[in-house]
A and B are shown apart, each in its own frame.
Chain A
């Protein structure tokens, strides 16, 4: 079974540019989560999709962040315009049933804004 795939693995962009991160969950997993770890701090929840719907987006930092999940398959997280404080590692996780709590995490995308 293929795992959760995230790309790019690394991205370096200039302040003010736009970046789009992508997450491909495990096939058949309805639940998709985005987390972020900034500057060696705690990993923090960003949002949760159930299929194509946003179930919880309480962790999204501001309106520069836009997440989508087309057709309930892969998800994208766009940052526009990027700021220095957006630098960090963005993780994606998926699970088949929310109540299972059996998440599989991707390797993350390391975003550096310069």
Chain B
């Protein structure tokens, strides 16, 4: 069965520190994976996506993610967080060719001064 797991519900990080958000997936074929961010009062914004090719994907706002097939993971990273990165982050898996997404439960990121 297909699934997306974000093990961390809540993460607190200091401004300027590095951030890594975990995402594990289960899927029978080559996965198409996404990371979205939702800031308060905003819609979901696409940070980056992986379809194939280079396993290190660069996204917007200084984020990157690495696809590791052997670990069924697609972790999101940022070297130095800014206060504006405080938001909820969602990992998602494409589950059919028509664009249906399956989301993880989300990780809430709090940035402290």
Contact = CB atoms under 8 A, between A and B. Distances in A.
Contact of A33 (B94, B99, B105, B106): B99
B98 A98 contact: yes
Interface string A3-45: 1100000000000000000000000000101010000011111
Contact count band on B = 20 to 34
Contacts, number: 61
A95 B45 CA distance: 13
Contact of A31 (B43, B51, B99, B104): B99
A42 B43 contact: no
B43 A98 contact: no
Contacts of B17: none
Contact of B41 (A41, A56, A98, A107): A107
B32 A41 contact: no
A1 interface: no
Contacts of A44: 103
B102 to A, nearest CB: 7
Interface string A41-52: 111110010100
Interface residues of A, number: 27
A42 B90 CA distance: 9
A55 interface: yes
B103 A98 contact: no
Given A91-B43, A95-B99, 9 more contacts: A31-B98, A33-B99, A33-B100, A35-B103, A43-B44, A43-B101, A45-B100, A99-B97, A101-B94
